[in-house]
Amino acid sequence: MVSFTRRSILKASIPILSFPTVVSLHSFISSKAYSGISESVNWAGISYLSGDRKQVDLNFTRKALEIKAPGSNQSKANKALLDALSSVNLQDVGLNLDFSGYARGARFGMIFALANELIIKLDKQKDYTDVVLRLVGYNILFNIEKRDILSTFPVRAKYLQSYEGPVNVDLPKAFLEMITGGLGLNDSIASWYTSKLASYPFELKYGGGSFQVVAPIHRDRVRKDCAAIDITVDKISDMIGLAATTAFGDVMKAPIIPFRKSRATGADMLVRFATGSETIGLALPSPDYAVEIMLRGWQFKEEQVTEHRKQVGLAVGMNIRIYETYSNKEIFSQRYRAIHKYLEMVNKDNASSRRSRVYILYEGLVEQAFNAIADVSLRKRLVEGETRSTEDMELSYKLMQDNLAILNKESDEVMVAVPQPEDW
């Protein structure tokens, strides 16, 4: 159960947040199907999906949200999202921004809900400092009158920075930049709103079912693989489950129920409006389809090249299974492999570096896997083996299926199950 509280946006009920502006939006309904209909949608700013350990899970992000916009008492993060929304031409999908304030009688509310922050790598050495971060949230649209969640679209921000020498990284500032797009970050929350928002189907009127990535499973060998890079099975499963959730939403442009394993669901979310104090109790829908990742494990192979460098080959494997939750009928089941060959400096040979490489390779592999379901040309290339290379590295993805007819049939079944807008 997710509870929404309808209360003054000027009186923040979470002390560290203040959202003095509410944006009224109009009609997240396709203009082709509902031309002439104007429904107000209240933008309620930024809130949380969080569990019992919320102070730990979003520790740096919460501090980032305290940072104010210059010359204003408004959260810099919230202002960045408002600016992103106002810069997009959303007329074609019936969205009209109105900054005049709360629209009384609004049928719909929309909020960006932060779910989880991930420190993939924070490696501070004498010669260098490497930082790899992820921030995961959901753009949520709900019907105020019916108490229904209409869509939850996952949104992920990426952060990768390398510095010469030892640097004390300001993590709250880094997570703020992941929201606002600071430092020119292309994979930020604000950039999602400017580049993708208008193309997403916000009302579930397209048929299809609801999907959810369930807790990943793993082969026995994964425990030993995790110990070698100083991470627990639960932690790596959590990270890859979130990566699969955002990848599925990005590729399919389909609502997906938040990943429950992440400790990011099952608690309160506060949505603040400019009037009233009515509590709106909303339950996340039960999924029609489950997406299950099985981690097969990973392996590093090394070959010394020079005194200070070695050639490393990292191979990871996984299975993806998609099935109907009410009948357990399987509609998709495939196996994948990815290999990353790269030069590793001897002074960077540590658990943190290898842990981040395992995660990033799995992250790319799930993205390729879901893209192949939607794109028949990529599907064929992955069966043959897709390889990218530069002077310093080689990256390859492989779909371990010999029968293309079976793969096409399974991919088609998934695409039929995904909600399909009329103009796709």
All structural domains of the chain with their residue ranges = 1-205+263-285, 211-254+288-424
Residues of the chain with pLDDT under 50: 1-38, 51-54, 95-102, 204-205, 262-276, 423-424
Pairing of strands 23-26, 40-48: antiparallel
CB atoms under 10 Å from CB of 164, counted, come to 8
In this structure, which amino acid lies at residue 33? A
Q: Output the six-digit token pair for 153.
A: 């679209």
Total-model pTM: 0.85
**CATH architecture entry for 211-254+288-424:** 3-Layer(aba) Sandwich (3.40)
The pLDDT of residue 152: 84
The pLDDT of residue 125: 85
Give how far Cα 359 sits from Cα of 96, 118, 239, 344, Å: 40, 11, 8, 17
Give φ, ψ of 247 to 5 degrees: -65, -45
Q: How far is CA 47 from the centre of its chain?
A: 16
The pLDDT of residue 196: 84
CA-CA-CA-CA torsion sign (41, 246, 161, 128):
positive
The pLDDT of residue 340: 97
From the number of C-beta atoms within 10 Å of its C-beta (0-12, 13-18, 19+), residue 255 rates as buried
The pLDDT of residue 274: 39
The pLDDT of residue 309: 86
Return the C-alpha torsion angle 223, 227, 229, 234, nearest 10. Answer: 50
Give how far Cα 42 sits from Cα of 45, 60, 152, Å: 9, 27, 16
The pLDDT of residue 257: 87
